[in-house]
Structure 1
Amino acid sequence: MLNEAIKVDEIVNKNFPLFNLNKNRSETFSQFCRDFCELNEPLRRFQEGFQHQIQRLESNETLNPNIKLNYPLSSIFGRTFNIQVGFVIMLCCSSVFVLLSASYMNQFNYKRLWLALMACLCPLMASGTALGLLFLFGVRFGTVLCVTPFLVLAIGVDDAYLMIHAWQRIKSKEKEINRGIIETIKERVLVDTGPAILISALTNICADAIGSFTGSPEITLLCMGSMAAITVDFIYQVTFYAIDHYREQQIVPFFTMATIFVNNPGNLSNPSQIQRLNKLVNEMESLPESWGSSSTNYFIRDLSDFLGEESLNDLNNGSINEFLKWPENKHWKAFVRTDGENGTLKRFFFTTAYHGESLKEWAERANLQNKWRDIIDKYNDLNATVFNDEGLFLDLINNMPTDAWQSALSTLICMTTICALFMGGEWRTVILAGITIGSIILGTLGILAWMDITMDPIMMAALVISIGFSIDIPAHVSYHFYSSGKLIDYL
């Protein structure tokens, strides 16, 4: 299997040329690649070491003590490399494709499955249309928009099943089904469910419209995306669609990584400057959540091993270029930027990892990010900055409680206003609906507080979804109660 993996890597590197417009020639991946080109080099070294040890066993010789093929860290002649990431990627890909293959073989033949499928496709198509229109008009993309399809899916599926149930209920009363009856059934379905769906859609649209004016850019972006998607979903549902337990919690939440960019490393020929850089790295590694030096990618440590401690004190401009020319050091080219042939270091970055059970909480990750920033602030002369993939969301943690109660209050006001517009003549029904919705909101917030759940961006989105989803029920009941009263008066 290792040999086959090496062959695949060779094919990708050498057998897929692309035309380079700048150089006016075709180049293979190994020729046009600039950074991280040797990312699979640990796999090659592991395969070579494995073959070497197998040959020694076949020759009845003892294993080479300088080659240690362990997981996740292997060592060949003193050179340590990490094979953990590649193994995890391979394991995930294998698991996903095996599960997909098993699902594909278990095919369903029930005709009702198509209705369930369309109930899910309609909101997703609406999300695609709405987000596409937003991007067309220049709205920026943000990762928080990835939540929008699931938000619209929860609301859209509920409305779709209301229509399916109404269709089945009305159809069961008809003795004979023909084309004229089908048109009548469709009309009665829209009359029966249309107002309830419209109330739900208007409530969510108005709440998102108010949320679009909050101070948090990501929350504003989420509200804009949700508002557009729900609008398109409502249009889709009342047009073409009208006729027709556990999650893994022990891998990703416990791990995070900091990327520190040093924009002014200074003169590395000065030993005190290298000591200052090392002090910054050591402080980042000394935090309680740190994974330690084994998780840190810091090129000066390999440069020190390459030159030796004494030569490192006499570092000159050409030493870094000489260091980067060696095959085992080529991957460091992605971490450093030098001044052309002169070899002067202009800037570089290093990464270090953190883990711990407490990091599954957003608040703890926000505190860890603040610790990083406190350390970086001590080294203003290095012009250093720290980057984290979740930083944009972690900065919103402190503002989450305020956004939560404002969203809940906006939802209550919007829902009460819409009920008053549709049922203005029955003020008691409107008041009852408002009290019911308010009790749902207070109950949801109270239970979360009682369970000591931290408010974070994901919980904020879940809170908005759950409140918006739950108020559909009193809205439907109130409207049908109001409609029943009008029907009794008519009779």
Structure 2
Amino acid sequence: MIHLIYLVPGVDNFSAEDVGQELEDALVKRLNDSDLVEANLQFSVFSLRILSREIRKNTSYTFPYISITIVLLVTFTVASCMTADWLTSKPIEAFMGVISSGLAIIAAAGLMSYCGVPYISQVTVMPFLALAIGVDDAYVMLGAWQETDRDDPPEKRLSATLREAGSAITVTSFTDVLSFTIGVFSTTPSSSIFCKYVAAAILFDYAFQITFFAGIMVLGGRREQSGKHALYIWRSLEAKQLRKVRRTGYVGPTQQFFGVTYAPFLTSAPVRGLAIALYVIYLSASLYGCSLLRPNLTPSELLVDDSPVKHYLELAETKIWSEGLIGRVYVSAAPDFGADKEALERFWRFVEDLENTPYSMGRNSTQLWLQEFQTYWQYFSDDQSQFYTALKGFLRVAFNSHWNDNLQWAPKPDDPQKSYVNKFYFTTGFQVKDWNARTKLLIEWRNITKSYPEYQALVFDENNFFSDQVLQLPSSTLNSVGIAFITMAAICVLFIGNIQVIGWVMFCMLSMDFGVLGIMALTGAELGPTTVVNILMSTGLSIDFVSHMGYSIYRAEHSDPDERIRHALGSIGWPIMQGGLSTLLAVISMLLVKSEVVRLFAQTVILVVVIGMFHGLVLLPVVMRTFTFSSAAPPPKKRNHHVMHSVDSRAPLAIDDILSADR
């Protein structure tokens, strides 16, 4: 194996970037010539420009699968919104719920393009995520509609629907938007851009849900009121079937299962005990996994599986780096070596410190003009004041002239008639085995240059920016998640007027974040930019499962705790299940994409859904039934929708209580 490194300067009026682009294109073209291919030689050309181009392939590899996602989502959404009759079934409304999410995606992409936000490969997964979130809101709206009185006119049914579901999707939409808005301020550019796109998509989806989709529901209500077929809307249903489905109190099959069958089973003492025991095991494994999480960034993970650059990066990590690489040391404020010998001696101590790190290759790897010049100088003069005069003579020698490219001359500050070297650079070798070692080496370099501030020195390696991101990941991730948690708690306080419900909802959200992080770490994931995006995404998605259930329990008008759980599961259990299953269908096709970063995203979403449904449909009802409610608890006040009710002692005034009152 031969590893060649080219440092490409600018030529005439052409910048180094332009020359580098031409050189790369010429190299790739030459290496693909038939004579080299027939010689059975393998070549890899690498630069940051090539790496960026290869990363963008994730987009073209992922987009074809969005058609599969749309087909799966439409099929499931329509099928899951069918009931036992053709009057209350909502196939057209369900389809329009998917269309509403699609409009939000288009609007978000258009806004970001108008604002000049660049499109990067990570944004490719945004439509999958936005579709899942948008369709989830449609399920909640349709579920609330089915709970309304079928004898009421459509306009009144919409009012009741928005009173129940409007607040719920407002909570989840605002928390999702805030979660990703916080990610906008991430120090990692790719994470920031991704979060901008997703936050905009969720915001547009919310706007379309309460306007466009609400109008679709009213049209569906008028069709239902007139007794028309749910699919063949021009056909009227038989009078016998209409009388059956219009009976007040008719319970659909999903409500029957979650409210009548599942809820009593879940609230029984043995099942609650088993659920809590399983949760203790889950939490222990999650916390252990979190302790294993380490920051790391491996560019090869950002590439598609068949990228030629991936082969080079694997060779670099396993062989090239351990053999030795070159670091360039730029001295921006060189001392006056002609003034005294102490300046020269101190500078040599600086060089020795760089040569003696745990990752350095020593003095023999250093290429510094001072080394050869001092050998030359000792034969001509011992007068320190003649240092730069001798240096000019040294550089005029043909085989020393190449050092001129490393030096910059300037007039002396105290004697402008004379010149000295005010800036220069040199190189030194180092050996590392992986990206974590590179990050530790960067810290070593910066600590050394900090010890010699008068030189304003910088040790440069083209991959330093990767290490910089690794250094910032732990703190930026904790800050983002912490701020997201606090803002979500604030929103829950505004919309859920019971401090105990809020506490358990936030506890479950924190538990889900720990679970996602811990299980990802146990499966070998490391803390990189992709993981940070996944963490922010899981923080936003996870709140949906528990906030819907918590809000429904809070709104339940029963004194008996088992009845409150039964009512909540009966009304929101199936929409939560629909949302989870539709999210799985939205990302399942991404597991087929030949890209590790895309597959990791899909795996994270699947993990969030599984953990989220466990917390929303099992853990939250169990802990609230076990630790919050008691049979002696007073019933919540009956909500009177005709007059404004006063604040009772059980909870602070919630915005929902105000919005739900007729003015």
TM-score (norm 1): 0.52
Counterpart CA distance in 1 for 2:394 and 2:26 is 25
**Hey, what does 2:444 align to over in structure 1?**
371
Taking a change above 3 Å as real, the CA distance of residues 322 and 356 of structure 1, as seen in their structure-2 partners, is same
How far has the Cα of 1:339 moved from its partner?
A: 3.1
Which of the residues 175, 181, 185 maps onto 1:203?
175
What's the C-alpha RMSD, in Å, of the aligned pairs?
Answer: 6.7
Taking a change above 3 Å as real, the CA distance of residues 151 and 367 of structure 1, as seen in their structure-2 partners, is farther
- AA aligned to 1:32 is N
**Hey, what does 1:33 align to over in structure 2?**
14
Which of the residues 156, 159, 162 maps onto 2:133?
159
Which of the residues 370, 373, 392 maps onto 1:317?
392
CA contact (8 A) 2:130 2:201 kept: yes
Taking a change above 3 Å as real, the CA distance of residues 414 and 398 of structure 1, as seen in their structure-2 partners, is closer
My pick for the range that moved more, 199-208 or 241-250, is 241-250
Q: Deviations over 1:146-171 (max 9, x none)?
A: 89968977864442232565799999
Counterpart CA distance in 2 for 1:147 and 1:118 is 21
- AA aligned to 1:203 is T
Which of the residues 376, 386, 389 maps onto 2:465?
389
- AA aligned to 1:237 is D
1:463 is the counterpart of 2:535: yes
Taking a change above 3 Å as real, the CA distance of residues 323 and 276 of structure 1, as seen in their structure-2 partners, is farther
What secondary structure sits across from 1:434 in the alignment? helix
Taking a change above 3 Å as real, the CA distance of residues 485 and 123 of structure 1, as seen in their structure-2 partners, is farther
Taking a change above 3 Å as real, the CA distance of residues 234 and 110 of structure 1, as seen in their structure-2 partners, is closer
Which of the residues 398, 409, 416 maps onto 1:338?
409
Taking a change above 3 Å as real, the CA distance of residues 91 and 103 of structure 1, as seen in their structure-2 partners, is same
How far has the Cα of 1:371 moved from its partner?
A: 1.3
- AA aligned to 1:159 is I
How far has the Cα of 1:343 moved from its partner?
A: 7.3
Counterpart CA distance in 2 for 1:416 and 1:270 is 64
**Hey, what does 2:83 align to over in structure 1?**
none
Identical amino acids, percent of aligned pairs: 15
CA contact (8 A) 1:156 1:233 kept: yes
- AA aligned to 2:410 is D
Counterpart CA distance in 2 for 1:417 and 1:474 is 15
**What aligned pairs does 1:402-413 form with structure 2 within 5 A after superposition?**
404=478, 408=481, 410-413=483-486
Counterpart CA distance in 1 for 2:191 and 2:301 is 28
**Hey, what does 1:238 align to over in structure 2?**
206
**What aligned pairs does 1:291-302 form with structure 2 within 5 A after superposition?**
298=367, 300=369
Q: Deviations over 1:219-277 (max 9, x none)?
A: 69999989976764444223458759975588289579855321233467899788876
Counterpart CA distance in 1 for 2:514 and 2:62 is 41
CA contact (8 A) 1:261 1:348 kept: yes
**What aligned pairs does 1:142-291 form with structure 2 within 5 A after superposition?**
156-163=130-137, 194-204=166-176, 232-239=200-207, 243=212, 251=313, 254=317, 259-266=328-335, 280-281=350-351, 283-290=353-360
Counterpart CA distance in 1 for 2:520 and 2:66 is 40
Counterpart CA distance in 2 for 1:319 and 1:119 is 69
Q: Deviations over 1:316-362 (max 9, x none)?
A: 33655887998xx59x74x5433399874220234557563442x4x
What secondary structure sits across from 1:339 in the alignment? strand
Counterpart CA distance in 1 for 2:69 and 2:179 is 38
**Hey, what does 2:625 align to over in structure 1?**
none
How far has the Cα of 1:471 moved from its partner?
A: 1.7
TM-score (norm 2): 0.41
Taking a change above 3 Å as real, the CA distance of residues 190 and 277 of structure 1, as seen in their structure-2 partners, is farther
Counterpart CA distance in 2 for 1:43 and 1:232 is 38
CA contact (8 A) 1:127 1:149 kept: no
Q: Deviations over 1:280-337 (max 9, x none)?
A: 55653554435789997x5739x95xx99648976433655887998xx59x74x543
Counterpart CA distance in 2 for 1:103 and 1:410 is 32
For structure 1, the 5+ residue unaligned runs are 1-8, 14-28, 55-69, 73-82, 133-142, 173-180
Taking a change above 3 Å as real, the CA distance of residues 109 and 227 of structure 1, as seen in their structure-2 partners, is closer
**What aligned pairs does 1:38-49 form with structure 2 within 5 A after superposition?**
none
CA contact (8 A) 2:334 2:422 kept: yes
Counterpart CA distance in 2 for 1:265 and 1:382 is 6
Q: Which has the higher contact order (CA 8 A, sep 6+)?
A: 2
**Hey, what does 2:544 align to over in structure 1?**
472
Counterpart CA distance in 1 for 2:513 and 2:50 is 44
Counterpart CA distance in 1 for 2:361 and 2:157 is 64
Structure of larger gyration radius: 2
**What aligned pairs does 1:30-179 form with structure 2 within 5 A after superposition?**
30-33=11-14, 85=46, 120-125=105-110, 127=112, 156-163=130-137
What secondary structure sits across from 1:468 in the alignment? helix
CA contact (8 A) 2:439 2:470 kept: yes
Counterpart CA distance in 2 for 1:289 and 1:474 is 49
- AA aligned to 2:424 is F
Q: Deviations over 1:88-120 (max 9, x none)?
A: 9669868977x9888899996998599586565
**Hey, what does 1:78 align to over in structure 2?**
none
Q: Deviations over 1:428-447 (max 9, x none)?
A: 64444234224324545666
Q: Deviations over 1:26-65 (max 9, x none)?
A: xxx9532366887699899999xx9xxx9xxxxxxxxxxx
- AA aligned to 1:356 is V
Counterpart CA distance in 1 for 2:454 and 2:409 is 19
CA contact (8 A) 2:175 2:488 kept: yes
**Hey, what does 1:25 align to over in structure 2?**
none
Taking a change above 3 Å as real, the CA distance of residues 339 and 413 of structure 1, as seen in their structure-2 partners, is closer
For structure 2, the 5+ residue unaligned runs are 1-7, 36-40, 75-97, 147-153, 214-299, 304-309, 381-389, 412-416, 559-566, 572-637, 641-663
Counterpart CA distance in 1 for 2:515 and 2:60 is 43
Count of residue pairs the alignment pairs up: 395
How far has the Cα of 1:474 moved from its partner?
A: 0.9
**Hey, what does 1:137 align to over in structure 2?**
none
